Structure 1
């Protein structure tokens, strides 16, 4: 389609001329217990609240309301090449499983407003657990299963959960990763002790249960089923929190992004048809993890709110068993749309550059590939287009927004593609690019990308128990705007180009990780005097962290020994997800005269980009030393 055939411009203009009317119309797709008094209340919250006065239940909209019309349709297809397991849950099955688990949670003392932390692998119980919380008005907080105990403990302390839902293990490729010892250590580190833990015992690894605190998931569910126990959907306010999802904070302390019930349902339901171009009854696959925002929005909630079928995949793009894994899943389950990170396709391309493993798989129903999580490089997009012969769509959004800020909306009709750009802002978002003084810059000029307030439905209304931190982190830098912390520009056609982060968050294979958090770990090593972590360009993962360390005087160990220890330390404290493999010992770090480490310049040197000498540098020679150290490791352009 060309832009003249796309309905995008009409939809965007309609939203801009009447934002309240636009979202009121979108809200008709949701079943409300009581409709909103006001679609948007500008006086409520930090910048206003959507669907004020409405009562609803997210689980009812995602599960129960579909049972009458599509009860025998698959709601979730679980496909686990790592365990050789497949399972289909129809909407009717899902309603039963969720209602029973919700009753178990109620019997464990969980009530409306209580928090429940999930530390789960990619198994059906993870989705069932999230939906069971939503059913009874509890607030879930999912922590990615690969996170180390200290990271999990900080989230437990912030959320103060009554119950933790977990499993005995996760499976990473061929490796079984026991979760229970990690959870036990996290609870011992945390000040806020959960009352109880519910543990799915997986056959690959049995967990030992702590008496008086831990319960066997399968046993508790079986008892509730035998007793006929099922929980009804509990009415909640549209503005009540559905979940808290922690994202890396620049201070190392995670930020609890709050998602409310009403706006979240309206926005996600709108995107399924209008953005992703998926119809109810079709199979949609977000190849992500429930621990990330993509898993929340487009494995668990978006497809189910829309009456589609969601794929829950426990495996990798390569290695489970090979680089043809995605083609098997698409063909076997009739996937129409796949959404994954560019990293996945870079990995597939690296293993199978000629796409030989695609042969023999029937992808006739497959019609679009969406990429997000980090910048999609044109090479990867063009390779995917060539082998799949479907539109490959880069789109851009954040944990905080919960749904796409910018993209090419296949449901409204595709716009012309500009490789390297996620295309245009969606209805709900006015994007501007500002300079450091907060003034708009001309087209094609780099600056900070900001979103004009108010944010649309589905975006975060605040941070968990931290309104002031929310204001300070997102709204205070440019008054009247939400700061995305992304840098880039808008071109003369209004296309957005997202070029990188403006803070210390790096993007490793679609996972946002704080370099500040990694620096904290490096600095804790007794041999390290000071350190700096930067994200270095990587052809597979987008970025990988690189740590520069200055050793204390008189350290007896050889630098390479310390470097090896530091790599292990980051792996232990943050987890393998950090992909931290490079620590470089240097004599000193480049700084401004006021003592600020020049990380941005170091990154440019590492990435082989052109750079100019910062005016405020203390000693220019240090940058040559950094360049030399990088060259010795095969970096620096």
Structure 2
């Protein structure tokens, strides 16, 4: 079918208010908006002022009332514990109401903040929805964060309560959460009134401090008594949640998500971008601690009347590189959304995709990738083995949904490997030079979005309007700075080449590390890679490539590294001055799979660095330093 994208995008450009007013009809409002958008409110304007609504009502109550009571709302699948559980919309609503009752009994209400410190269990979703039901503002902190990092978020959000699980589970280990929460509260200046704990059977927490509550027991009482709590009416412009950006150092940066615009944008995206219908099963293989988990594990699928999957496992090792295909087959998933790093891990362990044929994937229609740059080699590997469209798209914690994508629901556009395709309605994306001047097509520069940002994007940072302006709006007046660099081609396709911090200057030439990574990842023996710029007295910076090889590669590392240097010279040119390729066993990543290039660069340049709060395994940084030293790069003065 031909795509309706260009007509839809043109309709948004011609009359943005009419476009979003029509999209807003997909949401239940208790009182309609005064204006679709008011540019005089907030930092750059606010969406749907005057309207009242409730996110929990739109995710659960209305579906129960309109015939979806018995449809599956949430499927929990944990290959770590072998547990599976399906909740219908009615059952999920009952559980959320029970949790909201327990919270309301402890004085939690409209505008109060609640920190959630949870693993991938159904109660994490219930806690988010229970907060929304009460009009409380949740702030999910990734389970397992160190006590100091949790303490900084407690002091910034000043929560009335913390909801946590007794433990999180990783393959082969159990992480006790309650001691981390207790230590964080001891470190924090702000003291929450209560800590509500879900006791998991794998590890029981001690509830021996004032304000500790066994949340499961109290929910059981509320269910047995049939207690209910109505949805609190909130303004469309009221905050739904605060989400602190990963890798935050010093003062936390709390992205605020408003209530009304968030629902309108996410509901629109499910049908038009992801091409998923109500009643179908949608799986975002992420974590509730990240923005993808907020938007596409919890809110968007439930707003749209879909079934969502909560998966407690890993793409490899729980038990093997076929677990994604098993989940898709078992639960009849039609669309999977995950990070490219997950597929690189699968490709590394199962380069020929032999596990795929073990499962019935006949219901599976589309694979969506986001969270970091999707290299063309990984996309081709997935296309060839899965025989479904593989859709790269690009967005940020700050935006909450896709800035650029390939709108399957409007009719898929041609795929250009390496590009997440085109701007979604609401986003006027430009590429500017450092002085703020527009650049011609095909020229590398700063990616910005013309204000106002569309519904669903952050209106500000928590209690920090001035910081919001300085971080995102001041450098390019009239635009939102994405801090990503890239190019827009003659067809309007955007390619994200690097964070602006990862544009390196080699003898006066601005070069993209992303372009070099694309070349390295195209080598048949390379599973994944990262390129950083390291300080050089002569050229300013030199590119340094780290590569992880596929399983079963038995060739000499020196031979492969020489081939990689030649590939970059042949495909990018001598101007890249690419001479350093280093084979390593693994790359340092955040728990969401983003490669910690900035920290690697600090190590290579011999700089002091702070251990990233989100790092998956700190030992990898020592391995990177040893690899650099073995190559001859001095990492210490």
Report TM bin, short chain.
Answer: 0.7 to 0.9
Shift of 1:585: 7.2
Which residue of the partner structure matches residue 631 of structure 2? 631
Shift of 1:551: 8.5
Residues in 2 aligned to 1:462 and 1:65: alpha-carbon distance in whole angstroms:
30
Shift of 1:181: 1.2
Give the TM-score normalised by structure 2. Answer: 0.83
Match of 2:39 among 8, 23, 42: 42
Which residue of the partner structure matches residue 297 of structure 2? 299
**Counterparts in 2 of 1:249-328, with a 5 A limit?**
252-328=250-326
Q: Is the 8 A contact 1:570 1:580 kept in 2?
A: no
Q: How many residues align?
A: 553
Match of 1:60 among 57, 60, 63: 57
Residues in 1 aligned to 2:178 and 2:594: alpha-carbon distance in whole angstroms:
31
Which residue of the partner structure matches residue 127 of structure 2? 129
Residues in 1 aligned to 2:547 and 2:253: alpha-carbon distance in whole angstroms:
27
Q: Is the 8 A contact 2:247 2:614 kept in 1?
A: no
Unaligned runs of 5+ in 2: 504-512, 515-531, 533-540, 549-586, 588-592
Which residue of the partner structure matches residue 619 of structure 1? none
RMSD (Å) for aligned C-alpha atoms: 2.6
Shift of 1:253: 2.4
Which residue of the partner structure matches residue 329 of structure 2? 331
C-alpha spacing 1:549/1:322, structure 2 compared with 1 (3 Å):
closer
Shift of 1:211: 2.9
Residues in 2 aligned to 1:581 and 1:460: alpha-carbon distance in whole angstroms:
33
Unaligned runs of 5+ in 1: 508-514, 516-531, 553-562, 587-605, 607-627
Q: Is the 8 A contact 1:77 1:312 kept in 2?
A: yes
Provide Cα deviations, 1:337-384, integer angstroms capped at 9, x if missing partner: 000000000001111111111123110010000000000000000000
Which residue of the partner structure matches residue 548 of structure 1? 603
Residues in 2 aligned to 1:57 and 1:266: alpha-carbon distance in whole angstroms:
12
Q: Is the 8 A contact 1:138 1:242 kept in 2?
A: yes
Shift of 1:584: 7.2
Provide Cα deviations, 1:255-286, integer angstroms capped at 9, x if missing partner: 10000000000000000000000000000000
Residues in 1 aligned to 2:214 and 2:246: alpha-carbon distance in whole angstroms:
32
Residue 105 of structure 1: SS of its match in structure 2?
A: helix
Which residue of the partner structure matches residue 23 of structure 1? 20
C-alpha spacing 1:536/1:135, structure 2 compared with 1 (3 Å):
farther
Give the TM-score normalised by structure 1. Answer: 0.83
Provide Cα deviations, 1:201-233, integer angstroms capped at 9, x if missing partner: 111111111332211111111222233322110
Which shows bigger deviation, 393-402 or 169-178?
A: 169-178
Residues in 1 aligned to 2:394 and 2:161: alpha-carbon distance in whole angstroms:
34
**Counterparts in 2 of 1:337-486, with a 5 A limit?**
337-486=335-484
Residue 243 of structure 1: SS of its match in structure 2?
A: strand
Q: Is the 8 A contact 2:606 2:634 kept in 1?
A: no
Provide Cα deviations, 1:48-95, integer angstroms capped at 9, x if missing partner: 000010000000000000013111000000000001100001000011
Shift of 1:252: 3.5
Which residue of the partner structure matches residue 555 of structure 2? none
Q: Does 1:71 align with 2:69?
A: yes
Provide Cα deviations, 1:378-434, integer angstroms capped at 9, x if missing partner: 000000000100000000000000000001110001111111010000000000011
C-alpha spacing 1:393/1:91, structure 2 compared with 1 (3 Å):
same
Residue 154 of structure 1: SS of its match in structure 2?
A: helix
Which residue of the partner structure matches residue 617 of structure 1? none
Residues in 1 aligned to 2:77 and 2:497: alpha-carbon distance in whole angstroms:
35
Residues in 2 aligned to 1:146 and 1:262: alpha-carbon distance in whole angstroms:
31
Residues in 2 aligned to 1:127 and 1:87: alpha-carbon distance in whole angstroms:
14
Q: Is the 8 A contact 1:548 1:583 kept in 2?
A: no
Q: Does 1:247 align with 2:245?
A: yes
Residue 470 of structure 2: SS of its match in structure 1?
A: helix
Shift of 1:536: 6.7
Which residue of the partner structure matches residue 144 of structure 2? 146
C-alpha spacing 1:73/1:250, structure 2 compared with 1 (3 Å):
closer
Residues in 2 aligned to 1:550 and 1:162: alpha-carbon distance in whole angstroms:
43
Q: Does 1:105 align with 2:157?
A: no
Residues in 1 aligned to 2:270 and 2:321: alpha-carbon distance in whole angstroms:
28
